[in-house]
Amino acid sequence: MSKPVLLITRKLPEAIEAKAVQNFDARLNSNDEPWFRSGAEIAKRANEVKAEGILIAAGDPMNAETIAALPASVKVITTFSVGYDHVDVKAAKARGITITNTPDVLSFATAETAMTLMLMAARRAGEGERMVRAGKWEGWAPTQLMGVTLENKKLGVLGFGRIGRELADMARGFKMEIHYRDVNKLPPELEKGATYHGSDDEFLATIDVISMHVPGGDATRKWLNAERLAKMKKGSLVVNSGRGGSVDDEALIAALSSGHIRAAGLDVYDGEPVVNPGYMKLENVALLPHLGSATIEVRDAMGHRALDNLIALLVEGKEPPHAVR
């Protein structure tokens, strides 16, 4: 009996590719060649092999145009990510294509990245690392690279979902006071003493650090704009490990340049892998290359979750455990 044809757009961890080959007629991208960046190329390859499933990753352009060009053989598209704002779910459903994702495995790792960025921004770690690597460090000095402590600071978590709550747990270890902004107030057992704010203005005026964990889409597009940045305390810190599009880059660059925002830490970017060149000119911003879930343990778990969804639908004829509704 022939195996279902699975098109995989990106190079995946070794164990995941081996599992894919075992269960599918898997068409791999073992060298991570950049054809995945073109929706037309994804559709072309899917048509050539008559793919029944497609395993994509965050940022792959699975928009309405791409989905319309897929062959009728495609039954399922699974994304190697929790977020699926790069997938036109409505267009897929109109064609009877199931969409699945990989939730519940990367919350802690992404919160670790947010905590790393927060520490880097507060303690000027990026500047110090660059100084040492450039051979410019001349020894300890009483006023060299003085940052600020996180102790007793008010952390504002924008989006108090799984990742935001994991970050809050970590931040409590740094003696930070937790505040959050979300669509609704959470029950006390999830808040764990965190303070809910029902308005943006109150939230922004209260906190010393904002860490952003909101989904992509029109509702959050450039949420952190010039108006909202102006409402934050002078000397505040900005951290974003959620979605690059939720920050107005030009507004944040201006606030960092003026000193109104002391420092920022970013792991995601609007239009990545392109990064606004204004950030490159600033010392007071720490820039990471979308490392949120980049641990061996998490990437393996994501891969297994993605393949389990595909196996359920294409091999076992069952409802996949993580279908997007």
Residues identified as active-site: 243, 272, 290
H or E element in which residue 196 lies: strand 195-197
Packed helices 296-310 and 14-23: angle between N→C axes, nearest 10 degrees: 10
Q: What's the token pair of residue 120?
A: 């880097």
- Do 224 and 198 meet the contact criterion of CB atoms below 8 Å apart? no
**DSSP assignment of 83-98:** --TTB-HHHHHHTT-E
Residue 249's nearest CA partner among 257, 233, 87 is 257
Other residues' Cβ atoms within 10 Å of the Cβ of residue 206: 16
Full strand arrangement of the beta sheet holding 261-266: 195-197, 177-181, 154-158, 209-212, 236-240, 261-266, 285-287
Q: How many C-beta neighbours within 10 Å does residue 270 have?
A: 16
CB atoms under 10 Å from CB of 104, counted, come to 11
Q: HSE on the CB side for 175, CA within 13 Å?
A: 4
CA atoms lying within 13 Å on the CB side of residue 158? 29
Cα separation of 28 and 33, whole Å? 10
3-state secondary structure 274-324: CCCHHHHCCCCEEECCCCCCCCHHHHHHHHHHHHHHHHHHHHCCCCCCCEC
162-187 CB burial, b ≥16 within 10 A, e <16: bbbbbbbebbeebebbbbbbbeeebe
